[in-house]
């Protein structure tokens, strides 16, 4: 088993990505650029967590967790814009927001624990 598979944040990131994919396959009208950006950002959360666990130094691990957290922020921002454009409901937005926020908090703790000595 790889180290990242044991992490709760990785499991939540995978689930978030699964929810984003289901959303993108649904009956919504989103331009291809936004769709692609959301797809890439949601995938990036899990992939950067995985890559971070493969690194040996605290600084390298931290770097990938910071990127992962940034991708979570990016996803929430896309959903916020889609809410403003009335592509999604406030309830749909809130669901993605809460999941993204939980992942962000978990990553922040990981990042904070890897402060330079």
The set of residues, in sequence order, having a beta carbon less than 8 Å from that of 35 and lying 6+ positions away, is 24
Domain ranges of the chain: 8-113
List, for residues 94-115, the tens digit of each pLDDT value: 999 999 999 999 999 999 999 9
Fold category of 8-113 in CATH: de novo design (two linked rop proteins) (1.20.1440)
25-41: b or e for each residue (b if 16 or more CB lie within 10 Å)?
eeeeebeeeeeebbbeb
Q: If 0-12 CB within 10 Å is exposed, 13-18 middle and 19+ buried, where does residue 4 land?
A: buried
| CA–CA gap between residue 5 and residue 9 (Å, rounded) | 9
Stretch 19-42: mean pLDDT, rounded?
A: 96
């Amino acid at each position: 088993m790889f180290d990242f598979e044991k992490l709760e944040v990785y499991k939540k990131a995978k689930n978030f990505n699964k929810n984003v994919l289901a959303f993108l396959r649904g009956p919504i009208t989103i331009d291809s650029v936004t769709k692609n950006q959301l797809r890439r950002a949601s995938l990036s959360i899990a992939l950067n967590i995985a890559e971070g666990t493969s690194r040996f130094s605290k600084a390298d691990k931290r770097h990938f967790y910071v990127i992962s957290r940034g991708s979570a922020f990016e996803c929430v921002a896309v959903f916020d814009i889609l809410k403003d454009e009335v592509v999604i409901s406030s309830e749909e937005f809130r669901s993605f927001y809460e999941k993204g926020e939980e992942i962000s908090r978990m990553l922040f703790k990981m990042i904070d624990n890897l402060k330079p000595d």
